[in-house]
Structure 1
Amino acid sequence: MYGLIGRMLATEGQRETLLSIMLEGNAPMPGCRSYVIARDLASDNGIWITEVWDNQDQHMASLQLPHVQATIARARPLIAGFDQRFETEPQGGVGI
């Protein structure tokens, strides 16, 4: 399995709008076992994204899906950047 944990930063005052866009775009993605979007409680602009995939290739392929591309296009103007990213190798757990 392939895991990815990253913190996205919304532009000032746009976190709730960005969260809304990201949550609307959640549709099935082949190979995705878990995709969690959460507010960062320590930052007014931070959003944590935690993903678990069958493998890294499926994660990369998901970025080309039409609904993912549409979500990225809508969200891009509200994204100030990404300041943390961790790749992991999930071993199991609840829901995966």
Structure 2
Amino acid sequence: MTFANVGTLGTQPGQLDAVVAILTRPNPALAEAGCLLYEVGTSQDQPDTVFVTELWTSAAAHQQSLQLASVREAIAEAMPLLTGEMSGFQYDVVDSPLRD
């Protein structure tokens, strides 16, 4: 069953673009680990917030991806640029009108 992880990351003032750059670096290991979609966005309504939407083949694939060296390096690089304000939710995708 497909697993969704959706969240927000608060960034230090002036660090939004740097965090987006870290999160959007090409990373083929994510697809190999079972990531189906990884979208990063911003909003003028919340100028110091990064929005991330992920779809995974399973919750286990998502958890295992957190052990990848490339993911751990990106997290370590981004952490000093974040405020610690994070929110989000996870859910199992039931179905979609876009799939057979």
Please classify the TM superposition score into its range, dividing by the shorter chain length: 0.7 to 0.9
Shift of 1:3: 0.4
Q: 1:92 aligns with which of 75, 93, 96?
A: 96
Larger Rg: 2
Question: 4+ residue stretches of structure 1 with deviation over 6 A?
Answer: none
- 8-17 vs 82-91, which deviates more? 82-91
Secondary structure of residue in 2 paired with 1:20: helix
Shift of 1:25: 5.4
Where do residues 41-60 of structure 1 align in structure 2 (5 Å cutoff)? 41-60=44-63
Contiguous gaps of at least 5 residues in structure 2:
none
CA gap of 1:94–1:78, structure 2 versus 1, over 3 A, is farther
Aligned residues: 95
Partners of 2:19 and 2:97 in 1: CA distance: 29
| Coordinate RMSD, CA, aligned | 1.8
TM-score w.r.t. length of structure 1: 0.87
CA gap of 1:66–1:94, structure 2 versus 1, over 3 A, is farther
TM-score w.r.t. length of structure 2: 0.84
Matched letter for residue 29 of structure 2: P
**Percent identical:** 25
Shift of 1:11: 0.7
Shift of 1:31: 1.0
Shift of 1:27: 3.0
